[in-house]
Amino acid sequence: MSDEFVIANFKHVADGLQTGQFSVGERQPAASLDDLDPIYRALLDRPITITLAVIGPDGRPGLTPMWFDYEGDKILVNTASHRAKCNWIRKNPQLTMLIVNPDNPYHWVSIKCTVVNEISEDGPDGAWVTKQLDRIWTKYTGNEPPYGLRDPEIDEKRVLFECKIDRIATFGKP
């Protein structure tokens, strides 16, 4: 399994009308997120709520707004183990996420990825799941850990899905 992926840069209208606008302008091979143009890479580091798409039991995409995180070239999806989305991911580990610039909806990054590892918070590497959850809690809320939205009615446990990037599409300018 190769760790390389393709970045498809769509043509856009930020510079005005052009032939073939909204089609893929160029494709470039990439070995790492370091190959992503900085105007798109910056979106990954901002506390932007993304839209995650997973395939549900009826074969249609289930869309969820959620927090985004990555480490190195792995996309990290952290969810509560009791949520339906968790089982949907296990049944079809191919995910798509859309990161839209809240300042300009015509500037976005779409990432298609595949789960390569699942880590349970109550398993041997569970401390990493909690640490990553605390990290995104701080990124998105500005509050110090611990994560403050655990369901008080249950003994909520989290699952962290580590994903390899399959393909990225980009569009627009900030």
Q: What is the pLDDT of residue 21?
A: 67
Among 73, 166, 161, smallest CA distance to 117 is for: 161
pTM confidence score = 0.91
* Averaged pLDDT, 108-124: 97
Cis peptide before 146 (omega within 30 of 0): yes
* Cβ neighbours, 10 Å, residue 65: 8
Q: What is the pLDDT of residue 103?
A: 97
C-alpha span between 111 and 96 (Å, rounded): 6
Asked whether 90 and 118 are in contact (CB, 8 A), the reply is: yes
What CATH number should be reported for the domain holding residue 104?
A: 2.30.110.10
C-alpha span between 110 and 170 (Å, rounded): 6
- Which domain does 133 fall in, by range? 5-147+154-171
37-81 pLDDT per residue, tens? 999 999 999 999 999 999 999 999 999 999 999 999 999 999 999
Number of domains in the chain: 1
Distance spanning both ends of the chain, measured CA to CA: 34
